[in-house]
Amino acid sequence: MAEHLTERSQNILEAIVEDYIASAEPVGSRAITRRHNFNLSPASVRNVMSDLEDMGFLCSPHTSAGRIPTEKGFQYYIDTLLQVRNLSPKEKQKLQKSYRFQGMKMEDIMQEVGRVLSGLSKYTGLVMAPKFSSTVFRQIEFIRLSQGRILVIYVSETGLVQNKIIEVDHSLTAHQLEQISNYLNAELTGLSIQEVRAKLNNELKEERVLYDQMRKQALSLSCAALQDEVEDRVYVSGASLMLEQPEFSTPQQMKRLMQALESKKLLIDLLDRSQAADGVQIFIGSDSSHIDLEDCSLITSNFSNKKGAIGSLGVIGPVRMDYSQVIPLVDFTAQLVSRVLEREIE
């Protein structure tokens, strides 16, 4: 539960947060009285700022007379003071035109989303494609590479393509592989991967499979192709834009940040956490549970279709992020991508 602040304290904290977001510089009492119509003297503002500092909402960097918001101050601002406006129809139309989805494969769409999120926010865009286990089967194709090695091409209903090489004990001709592909595509199209796996396992246990060699081969191949989890795909755009922020101006800060953004496992863990709840999620500083991202915030939202494919997208920036701009951008983009998955955008 957020601590109770008086209206005056809330107004001054809000002013300091928003001035700091805009300038990246400590905010002093004279600047507050000059920029905001509070009808208070600098001395009165200083007293409130001192109280906010004692409560942990502000801190004094170095020997500066100004204050900057702490992580606690930002959290209070987001939870209590921030008013997230809805995008106007004109803004939504303009944003929608920023995305060029027509004729794109799913991988290209994911990259396009990250690129536009980064370009519009001026921070780093992140997109995690729907998990393989949540995709819906459209078709599968087997291509003979060499003796005992087969390339499997799996295509989901949303156009996500996964390639995998499997090894088999027996030799199959191109014609046999084509027959197997045709059989599986007729049997499995429209099922989720979870349903496909259950169906394959159940049918392999049936006695009649023993007397149908082609069917047995088809089930064995598809089990080998679809049983293992496929590595989650994360698309990162605009990582270098973070280096333009004053928070990451030293070589050590740059190195730590770039190492974090290059860690796919870390980013997947963060985006996985966002899928635990609906709507926009905000992780501030230490919420990320990773020391290299303590100076960053992550704003995420999920996109999905009606058949259960769920992915995540978001923007990572400094804790001093323009939340009022980025939150509606992330929220509406997730809605757009969900409509793409539902084939509502041509």
CB 301 within 8 Å of CB 313: yes
Residue 345 has a pLDDT of 37
Phi, psi for 47 (deg, rounded to 5): -60, -45
Asked whether residue 258 carries a pLDDT value surpassing 70, the answer given is: yes
Asked whether residue 213 carries a pLDDT value surpassing 80, the answer given is: no
Best CA proximity match to 74, nearest among 56, 51, 61, 60? 56
Consecutive H or E run containing 163: strand 161-167
Residue showing tokens 């990259």: 111
Our measurement of the distance from residue 39's CA atom to the centroid of its chain's CA atoms, rounded to an integer in Å, reads 43
Confidence of residue 344 (pLDDT cuts 50, 70, 90): very low
What mean pLDDT comes out for the span 215-223? 79
- pLDDT, the chain, mean: 85
DSSP string over 8-61 = HHHHHHHHHHHHHHHH-S-B-HHHHHHHS-----HHHHHHHHHHHHHTTSEE--
Residue 329 has a pLDDT of 94
Distance of alpha carbon 6 from alpha carbon 21, whole angstroms: 22
CB 191 within 8 Å of CB 137: yes
pLDDT per position as a tens digit, 230-253: 677 899 999 999 988 988 888 888
Residue 174 has a pLDDT of 86
The answer to whether the 7-81 and 89-131+233-341 domains have the same CATH topology is no
Radius of gyration (Cα) for the chain, nearest Å?
26
End-to-end CA distance of the chain: 45
Residue 307 has a pLDDT of 67
Please state which of the four CATH numbers 2.40.30.10, 3.40.30.10, 1.10.10.10, 1.10.1660.10 is assigned to the domain occupying 7-81: 1.10.10.10
DSSP state of 200: H
Distance of alpha carbon 107 from alpha carbon 85, whole angstroms: 31
**The token pair that represents 65 in the structure block:** 């007379």
Q: Class of the 133-226 domain?
A: alpha beta
DSSP string over 250-304 = SHHHHHHHHHHHT-HHHHHHHHHHHTTSSS-EEEEGGGG--GGGTTEEEEEEEEE
In angstroms, what CA-CA distances link 23 with 16, 105, 141? 10, 40, 55
Residue 28 has a pLDDT of 92
CB atoms within 10 A of CB 153: 15
What mean pLDDT comes out for the span 139-151? 87
Residues contacting 246, CB < 8 A, separation 6+: 24
What mean pLDDT comes out for the span 171-191? 87
pLDDT per position as a tens digit, 70-119: 999 999 999 999 988 888 888 888 888 888 777 777 788 889 999 999 99
Residue with the bigger pLDDT between 24 and 212: it is: 24
Confidence of residue 2 (pLDDT cuts 50, 70, 90): low
Residue 92 has a pLDDT of 87
19-44 residues labelled b (16+ CB within 10 A) or e (exposed): bbbeeeebbbbebbbeebeeebeeeb
Most confident of 5-14, 143-152, 216-225: 5-14
pLDDT per position as a tens digit, 265-309: 888 888 888 777 788 999 997 776 666 788 899 999 999 877 666
Residue with the bigger pLDDT between 218 and 103: it is: 218
Q: Which residues on neighbouring strands pair with residue 214, listed in sequence order?
A: none
Residue 346 has a pLDDT of 40
Q: Where are the domains of the chain?
A: 7-81, 89-131+233-341, 133-226
What fold characterizes domain 89-131+233-341?
A: Beta-Lactamase (3.30.450)
